[in-house]
Amino acid sequence: MTTKIIFIVAYLILAPFIGGLLDGIDRKISARMQGRKGPSVFQPFFDVAKLFNKEVLLVNKAQAFLVLSYLGFIMFTGALLYSGADLLLCFFTLTTAALFLVLASCSTSSPFSSIGSQRELLQMMAYEPMVILTAIGFYYATGSFKASNIVAGNMSAIVYLPGIFVGFVFILTIKMRKSPFDLSASHHPHQEIVKGITTELSGGLLAITDIAEWYENVFLLSIVGMFLINTSVVSIVAAVAVVIVVYFLEILIDNTSARMRWDKVLKLAWSVTIIAGGINLVVLQVLKSLI
């Protein structure tokens, strides 16, 4: 119990700092890829601090509650994971958090926010099947949905789940709202829906969504690490290395891809889910039945 509390507290305290630093590294590497010097890796923290010092303009009273609920559920999701809880529960809580952001966007009268929230729901339709298959895959590989049992095995789950791993890494691009799948929001306001789902958020509320994204990114990358982690200390080093490579890959894709139409995103995501995830589960089931 003491260990679980330590992990939960560590996540709640360290995740926003790690997530913010990753965001800063993202900006720095992206700038280098574009031939620019780029800002400091600590710039995201300066931006958030500046937003908290600005006036918050509320469109309605529900907006603040919904945004705070979004952050709260994201934090709760990570706390569940690091407590070793059921992975399905973690994913369902993460989806609930995303729905609160959609509701916050829908509560305004802005057409840009409305389009952004609709596109966010389409993105959820695209990646949710793969998210569920990921949890099912871990169960098939380890015999448990509990995160604590998954990382306590003698063999890394990726040995049994290479297709699931590829599928989950694929949907990370959608979850992190990076090109070519940044349909609902963008880090750049000069686009057809301005800032999309966060258009009507200002000041501290906009800063809260940034912090929530930092928490979420750490959670998602932790799932990537879970594919590698087992009882061996070496596996932790391998997991960190793979997480770094995956995050760099996301940055590379973001800077080399143009945005897709929503229908292509849906078809591509479901195709990867069926081919990579579905076939992996079928093969794993056949092997288990033979053994």
pLDDT tens digits along 125-157: 999 999 999 999 999 888 899 999 999 888 899
Cα 200-61-110 angle, rounded to 5 deg: 25
Question: pTM score, two decimals?
Answer: 0.92
User: Using CA atoms, how far apart are residues 150 and 230, in angstroms rounded to an integer?
Assistant: 8
Tokens linked to 196: 């999309």
Q: Using 50, 70 and 90 to split pLDDT, how confident is the model at 255?
A: confident
**Is the pLDDT score of 184 beyond 70?**
no
| Distance in angstroms (rounded) separating the CA atoms of residues 136 and 138 | 5
137 CB-contact burial (10 Å; exposed 0-12 / middle 13-18 / buried 19+): buried
Q: Is 256 helix (H, G, I), strand (E, B) or coil?
A: helix
> Which structural domain range is residue 32 located in?
2-290
Q: What is the total count of domains within the chain?
A: 1
Give the three-class secondary structure for 146: strand
Buried b (16+ CB within 10 A) or exposed e, 201-219: bbbbbbbbbbbbbbbbbbb
Does position 196 have pLDDT exceeding 70, yes or no?
A: no
Q: What is the pLDDT of residues 70-97, one digit of tens each?
A: 999 999 999 999 999 999 999 999 999 9
Which uninterrupted H or E stretch holds 285?
helix 279-290
**Which of 8-22, 35-49, 52-66, 117-131 bottoms out in mean pLDDT, i.e. has the lowest?**
52-66
Region of poorest pLDDT, from 71-85, 98-112, 228-242, 276-290 = 98-112
For residue 64, what pLDDT is reported? 86
pLDDT surpasses 70 at 191: no
The pLDDT, as a whole number, for residue 254 is: 86
Phi, psi of 191 (to 5 degrees): -145, 180
